[in-house]
Amino acid sequence: MTWLVAGLGNPGDKYRSTRHNAGAMVAELLAERAGERFRKTRFVPADVAETRIAGERVLLARSHRFMNDSGPSFASVARKNLVPPEQLIAVHDEIDLPFGALRIKLGGSTAGHNGLNSLVSALRSEDFLRVRVGVGRPPGRGDPIGYVLKPFSKDQLPDVPLLIDDAADAVESLIENGLERTQDRFNRSGPRET
């Protein structure tokens, strides 16, 4: 059985530390934990690192395309490796959750998240797992698009590594323990108490 972890984000150093790249940060951390490197995939605009979690083959992917256009990259990796939607885990930033919150779910609405819209369209299915990483909303009536394309604020920075670490743990738990146990353990409405 093969799993695919789609770390949603934008390519390039300019976006590396932005809120919108929370998903890509999680995929990168999982590769780092496994001591694996991302490699370009032939004929697919994506980098993939391969590892094993709980004895299962796991592909960690980052798209070369921008978030709103990234669905076909991940869908191509899934098709090439015979990964059905229910074994795909999309990890993404979520402005509808407070900073530090985590929510794990299967399927459902994309809540207007263009990266998820692109993935649903490319897979022709919304029945994939999601690890939603809470980045919060901009203060006041700030522009959400500009907000997610900026780095985390100074007061958030100390909690970012914890949040990314917990989201990576949640991905591993989904593969090892399934949805319900992972939700029980990781769903929370704010930063983890340290």
* Catalytically annotated residues: 20
Long-range contacts of 47-51 (CB under 8 A, 24+ apart): 48/77
- Who's near 166: CB < 8 A, 6+ residues apart? 102, 186, 192
Q: In what order do the strands lie in the sheet with 102-106?
A: 39-40, 46-53, 56-63, 2-7, 88-94, 129-134, 102-106
Residues in contact with 39: Cβ distance below 8 Å, sequence separation at least 6, in sequence order: 47, 48, 49
| Helical pair 22-34 and 160-177, crossing angle rounded to 10 deg | 70
Beta bridge partners of 50: 59
CA distance 58 to 120: 20
